[in-house]
Amino acid sequence: MQQQPETPVTPSPMPQLSPELPPQYPPKKSKLWLWITLAIVGVLVIVGIIITIIIVSNNSASSADTTTSRQRATKPDRKNNDNEEEDEDNQQGSATKATKCLTSTDFRRSGYTHVKDGYFVLENGKFNFRSILFKPDSTQYQRGTSNVEMAKLGVLYKFNTDKQFSIELVPNETGEGSKLALERADKIKHDLVSNGIPERKIAVSEPIVATHDTSDDTANRRVTIYLVAPQKCSEK
């Protein structure tokens, strides 16, 4: 048996390795501008704080000076202040006394244009204001002008609600007794209330027997209106 020649083994070629390239990294960004920006911001903040402190300090000093000046300017002299307060109290007391009393001027302002100074004269705290005449045996006014008188008296009250006065109605007793006399007084009271005078400001007195001349047949048909006020308010 013949031996076959051995086939020589050819070594496989070695793979050629490509040369390794070094790794490439992205270029580093410069932080210079960041630091510059931060530095500028820091400087601005510090400057702003310093300016704020200066402004606040100046305002505080100015306010303190102003307050001190005002205190010095407004600090009153104790003696003069006491005298001024006393004078003011006296003036207020006089003004209060004056405003609480009816005067002739008050009447003129309310429509009684004929009134002259010294008109409001009291006798025992009463001023004989008007005498209202009624028809015989009736509660009707004799004159139509009596309604006008009631209205004017209402105006007098409205203009002088701060004054110290009230109204008293004194009827004259008639031959029919006191009943008709009181009814006449109530008629006037009703009309005065209708013209704005509070009922609490009006008093009706008991009828009186009128003293009159025998030739005067109207005396028993009258109701006298008195204005009642402190005697110190009398103008004479």
Q: How far is 9 from 230, CA to CA, in rounded Å?
A: 158
As a three-state string, the secondary structure of 13-57 is CCCCCCCCCCCCCCCCCCCHHHHHHHHHHHHHHHHHHHHHHHHHH
Torsions phi, psi for 22 (to 5 deg):
-70, 145
* Confidence at 184, pLDDT banded by 50, 70, 90: very high
Q: pLDDT tens digit string along 199-218?
A: 999 999 999 887 666 566 78
The domain ranges of the chain are 36-72, 104-233
Question: Is this prediction's pTM over 0.85?
Answer: no
* Confidence at 232, pLDDT banded by 50, 70, 90: very high
Residue 95, pLDDT > 50, answer no
pLDDT at 77: 54
Highest average pLDDT, of 65-74, 90-99, 139-148, comes from 139-148
* pLDDT > 70: percent of the chain: 66
Lowest mean pLDDT among 52-61, 165-174, 219-228: 52-61
Strands ordered across the beta sheet of 222-228: 126-133, 222-228, 166-171, 202-204
Give burial (CB, 10 Å; 0-12/13-18/19+) of 200. Answer: exposed
pLDDT at 25: 55
Lowest mean pLDDT among 54-58, 130-134, 183-187: 54-58
Six token digits for residue 32: 């210079």
Q: pLDDT tens digit string along 112-140?
A: 989 899 999 999 999 999 999 999 889 99
User: Architecture of 104-233 per CATH?
Assistant: 2-Layer Sandwich (3.30)
Residue 143, pLDDT > 90, answer no
Highest average pLDDT, of 10-14, 22-26, 168-172, comes from 168-172
pLDDT at 93: 47
Structural contact between residues 129 and 225, judged by C-beta atoms closer than 8 angstroms: yes
* Confidence at 56, pLDDT banded by 50, 70, 90: confident
Lowest mean pLDDT among 29-43, 127-141, 166-180, 216-230: 29-43
Residue type (1 letter), 199? E
* Confidence at 150, pLDDT banded by 50, 70, 90: very high
* Higher pLDDT, residue 70 or 156: 156
The residues, ordered by sequence, that sit 6+ positions from 154 with a Cβ below 8 Å of its Cβ are 192, 195, 196, 197
Residue 50, pLDDT > 80, answer yes
pLDDT at 61: 66
Q: Which of 142, 228, 140 is nearest to 191 (CA)?
A: 140
